Structures are given as C-alpha cells and as structure tokens.
Amino acid sequence: MRFTTLGTGTISLSPARSCAGYLLEAPGFRLLIDCGSGITRRLAELGIEWQTITHVALTHFHIDHHGDLPTLIFAWKYGFLPARTEPVEVIGPVGTADLLARLAAAYGEWVTGPGFPLTVREITPEETIELPGGVRFRCHPVPHTPESVAYSMERGGRRIVYTGDTGPSDALAAWARGCDLLVCECSLPTGMGIPEHLTPEQCGELAAAAAPKHLALTHFYPPVEQVDIRTLVGARYAGPITLAVDGWGWDFETEDV
C-alpha cells in the first residue's frame, strides 16, 4: 500500500504546489482522494498511470478539491486508445451525486455518462466500504463545510487517516488515534487563524491527541510557510513530522519515504 501527495497546496495558487490531491495504491486498486486544480497535470508529470485509477473520493465540495475531476473524466473518455471500458466509482459525502449532476449540467452529459460505467457512492460515518485490494474505507465528519469529512484507509492492519480540510476537532483526534500515518491540513499561521482551518499549533495538538506513528502536514497557504512549522508542531507532538511536497510518498510495506 503506497500513499502519494499529489497536491499539497490550496486555492492560493502556487508554482510549487497543486491544489488538493492524494493517491492510495494497493494491488488492483488506485484511489484518488480529492482532485483539485493541477492534479491531472501532476499525475502525468509523476508518471502515474492515470488511465487505471479505479476510484475517486471527495472530502467536500470546494473547487480546490474537485476542480480537475471533469478534466480527468474527459481524459478517461477521449485521452487514450483504446477507449476506457473499466468502471470508475466516485465516493463522497451526501451531496456528491448532486455535485456531479450539476457538473454535468454545466459541461455536458459525458460527466456522468462518459461511455464507461461511472457510479457514485455516498458514504456516511456509520458505513465501512470494502474496496478492492482489501482496503477498508471509512469517513468521519469534520468542522469545515456541512458535508466535509476525513477519511480512514486501512489494509493489513496499517491505517492512514487524511483529515481533509478541517478546524480543530477532539472527535477527529479520537477517531484517528493510533493510525500509522496522519495526513493533516496545516493551512494558516496563528495570526491568520480561522475556525475552518488548522494552524501549526493546532496540528500539534491534534497529533498529540491522535498519537499517529508519523505525521505528514499538507494544504499550506503561503503565509504559513513563513513560520517555523516543524518547531511549532514539534512543541506539542513528539513523533516524526514530514512537511509534504507534491510527489512525496509513503510505502507501507517498507515505510520508505
């Protein structure tokens, strides 16, 4: 099981960081988690076989987390030969089907009927979805938008939690507790903090309560990169910390980065 950070930036556009996007790979299974602007280019740039992505999961409906989804579907329809026939499943919180219907109204019926099977599955916190490759997939509500969720992906006793966009949440920390890798948004410095996002100090507090084996920070607005993120987080969380960049990866078989 390998996890790759494709886009570690935000809607504050950066030449170094695409908007949100992450890839989880297991045998016979490729899950793209969020698909913000720049993710389709990043997939090609990193040499990832975008043609064989099997699932897409959205954490919420802000455009920096789904803006490239129509581009990816269009690429699957027209971008390689022979034409795609393998199915794709789009997973997301309640409202995902309506989001795709609205995208289809804007761009065309090919968004939801691209010529290969494309299904939408809305997930609730009460569910566990058994995905190919033996991956157990769950969600947890987080304080950002009404639909926003974090995701847990577990296989062979190893667990990744991705917070999506979130504000401080004791419930999220408890739900993520003991995971192998916590991928946590780290949006703004304290002087610019808002309830819907985390500061480095709040990331440290979340990680201290969740006690992951490794913390990877992502979703950086440019001002937060002007402070000493590692020191601010490390004052609260004693475990290993990675400030993720686009293309950073974690291999759960070897724990190589």
Domain boundaries defined on the chain:
2-251
CATH homologous superfamily of 2-251 equals Ribonuclease Z/Hydroxyacylglutathione hydrolase-like (3.60.15.10)
Please check whether residue 188 is in contact with residue 33, taking contact to mean a CB–CB distance below 8 angstroms.
no
C-alpha dihedral (252, 175, 9, 251), degrees to nearest 10: 0
**Residues 109-122 pLDDT 10s:** 999 999 999 999 99
Q: Where are the alpha helices (DSSP H) in the chain?
A: 39-45, 63-66, 69-78, 96-107, 170-176, 200-210, 229-234
Nearest-CA neighbor of 189 among 202, 198, 203, 199? Answer: 199
How high is the pLDDT of residue 81?
80
Nearest-CA neighbor of 64 among 100, 104, 35, 102? Answer: 35
Q: Where are the alpha helices (DSSP H) in 67-155?
A: 69-78, 96-107
Any idea how long the chain is?
A: 257
How high is the pLDDT of residue 252?
83
Q: Letter for the amino acid at 33?
A: I
Spans of the chain below 50 pLDDT:
254, 256-257
How high is the pLDDT of residue 257?
41
How high is the pLDDT of residue 145?
98
Q: Letter for the amino acid at 170?
A: D
Percent of the chain with pLDDT over 70: 98
Instruction: Tell me the backbone φ, ψ of residue 234, rounded to 5 degrees.
Output: -65, -20
User: Is the whole-model pTM more than 0.85?
Assistant: yes
SS3 85: coil
